[in-house]
Structure 1
Amino acid sequence: MPAARRSPGRSARRRARTRRRRLALTLGGTAALAVLGTAGFTLLHSTAAQSPEAGSTTQARPVPPVSESPEPVRTEENPPPQTAPPQTAPPAAPQVVQHGSGSFTTAAASGTTVGTGGTVRRYQVEVEDGINIDPKAAAAAVQAVLADKRSWTADKRNSFKLVSSGSYDFTVKIASPDTTDKICGAGGLDTKGEVNCDVGKQVVVNSKRWLTGSPQFDGSLDDYRALIVNHEVGHRIGHGHEDCPGPGKPAPAMMQQIYGLKGCTANAWPYDAKGSYLSGPSVP
């Protein structure tokens, strides 16, 4: 009996179903292998990182804890706060004691002879008690002035020596305004509580001028003290008052600069650095 013929359409459909089953198996196996491969790689990498035999590994930096009060972001709209500089108190103005005790302390200080002149003038420095001026510091200041090459030693005739005891030729005496007026008035001079004088064996320095200078003198306080010493010691060695020699020129040390400079420039020294005398017209 002849075999029955298969329908062509049925066979085609059967072959299509077979191909679809094979394709599904192939794709499923590939996906499974991919999953297994990924899991295996992850497990292997994790094991290697944790194993001490796997060598050193770079460790991640720990994340710092978040501050409860984080620093504000600095921008032009939010600049950092400005810290005010520390306040420096201005120097206190020197206190001038109008009326001292009337008694004096001689500075316990002495020095070598300054200058090459044949006439050596010995002097002491005395400071009135209670006027807040240190006698030893004052003596050092006076000595520095007379030792300067621009002072009276430049005349090659006079030398000076600071002494604290024994004989002396004159005293540099720093006194309160009232005491200055009293001492100078005894010699017939009116200092009006403002200026200095040379009387008898005494160069009397008004403490007001020593501590505050002069409103007419635009140099330093040290320079004005030098002017006081040079002017009054200049009287001691025979110099009289002088006037301004001309506009723009240095005022002579023997000019009464406290009363105005008359066009001259303030100057504390009788000689310049080259040894030339800074003179002016004599005042009658």
Structure 2
Amino acid sequence: MSGRAGHSGKLIRYGVKIEDGTGLTPRVVAAEIDRIFRDSRSWTGRGVASFQHVPAPPYDMVVQIVSPGTADRLCGSWGLDAGGELNCANAPNLIVNVRRWVELSDQYRGRPYEYHALIINHEAGHVLGYGHRSCPGPGRPAPAMMQQIKGLHGCVANPWVYSASGRFLHGLHVP
């Protein structure tokens, strides 16, 4: 069990599960997720939540890295069409398509840590009850809750919930 990332807000105890055949290991992935949550620009930055990786249930959130087919099946069971490409979340489950984890998206080519941070921050945001947001304006950082894989719409790629100065990065709510 690792220590708590963040010191205030709702404590989210999370597990990490990796589908066989992905080539990833839970220990390595969990360490990267922990590093993301410890960044002051993540959900822990302003005390919205804190996160702790735990090795066994009970979990408040389960990060599952799975094959595209499994992601399509799981996301589809919640009425979402992942099209072999997308990630999804339906609390407590956070489904990460291994194709996206490994191949990244066009907006994050060559920057795997930043793209992983976007996936984790975006999908954890859904688990926390946050919906999608739009681009707040040309040249501005894209909110972590923006569906950046579908295009930046003038925004600059950004994986973080908060700016370096602690400002919440958001756009208009997208229904």
Alignment TM-score, normalising by the size of structure 1 = 0.60
> Aligned pair count?
175
Secondary structure in 2 aligned to 1:144? helix
- Report which of the two has the higher share of strand: 2
Is the Cα contact below 8 Å between 1:218 and 1:266 reproduced in 2? Answer: no
> Which residue of 1 is the match for residue 4 of structure 2?
113
> Which residue of 1 is the match for residue 154 of structure 2?
263
Q: 2:23 aligns with which of 104, 128, 132?
A: 132
1: CA distance, partners of 2:72 / 2:61: 19
Gap change, CA 1:200 and 1:114, over 3 Å in 2: closer
1: CA distance, partners of 2:80 / 2:140: 30
Structure 1 position 281 matched with structure 2 position 172:
yes
> Which residue of 2 is the match for residue 156 of structure 1?
47
2: CA distance, partners of 1:282 / 1:118: 23
Structure 1 position 191 matched with structure 2 position 82:
yes
> Which residue of 2 is the match for residue 245 of structure 1?
136
Secondary structure in 1 aligned to 2:11? strand
Secondary structure in 1 aligned to 2:113? helix
2: CA distance, partners of 1:116 / 1:223: 23
Which runs of no fewer than 5 residues in structure 2 stay unpaired?
A: none
Q: By how many angstroms is 1:182 displaced?
A: 0.8
Alpha-carbon displacement from aligned partner over 1:80-114 (angstroms, at most 9, x marks no partner): xxxxxxxxxxxxxxxxxxxxxxxxxxxxxx31011
2: CA distance, partners of 1:269 / 1:184: 24
Gap change, CA 1:219 and 1:257, over 3 Å in 2: farther
> Which residue of 2 is the match for residue 227 of structure 1?
118
Structure of higher CA gyration radius: 1
Structure 1 position 205 matched with structure 2 position 96:
yes
1: CA distance, partners of 2:46 / 2:161: 10
Secondary structure in 1 aligned to 2:22? coil
Amino acid at match of 1:258: I
1: CA distance, partners of 2:153 / 2:65: 28
Q: By how many angstroms is 1:119 displaced?
A: 1.3
Q: By how many angstroms is 1:133 displaced?
A: 1.1
TM-align CA RMSD: 1.2
User: Of the two structures, which has the highest relative contact order with CA contacts closer than 8 Å and spacing of 6 or more?
Assistant: 2
Q: By how many angstroms is 1:241 displaced?
A: 0.3
Q: By how many angstroms is 1:117 displaced?
A: 1.5
What fraction of aligned residue pairs are identical, expressed as a percent?
A: 47
Alignment TM-score, normalising by the size of structure 2 = 0.96
Alpha-carbon displacement from aligned partner over 1:97-149 (angstroms, at most 9, x marks no partner): xxxxxxxxxxxxx3101112141110001100111112211111111111111
Q: By how many angstroms is 1:163 displaced?
A: 0.3
Q: 2:61 aligns with which of 164, 170, 181?
A: 170
Q: How does 1:9-158 map to 2 (within 5 A)?
A: 110-158=1-49
Secondary structure in 1 aligned to 2:132? coil
2: CA distance, partners of 1:219 / 1:256: 19
Which runs of no fewer than 5 residues in structure 1 stay unpaired?
A: 1-109
Q: By how many angstroms is 1:155 displaced?
A: 2.7
1: CA distance, partners of 2:98 / 2:168: 28
Q: By how many angstroms is 1:216 displaced?
A: 2.9
Is the Cα contact below 8 Å between 1:116 and 1:157 reproduced in 2? Answer: no
2: CA distance, partners of 1:199 / 1:280: 22
Amino acid at match of 1:111: S
Secondary structure in 2 aligned to 1:155? coil
Q: By how many angstroms is 1:218 displaced?
A: 5.0
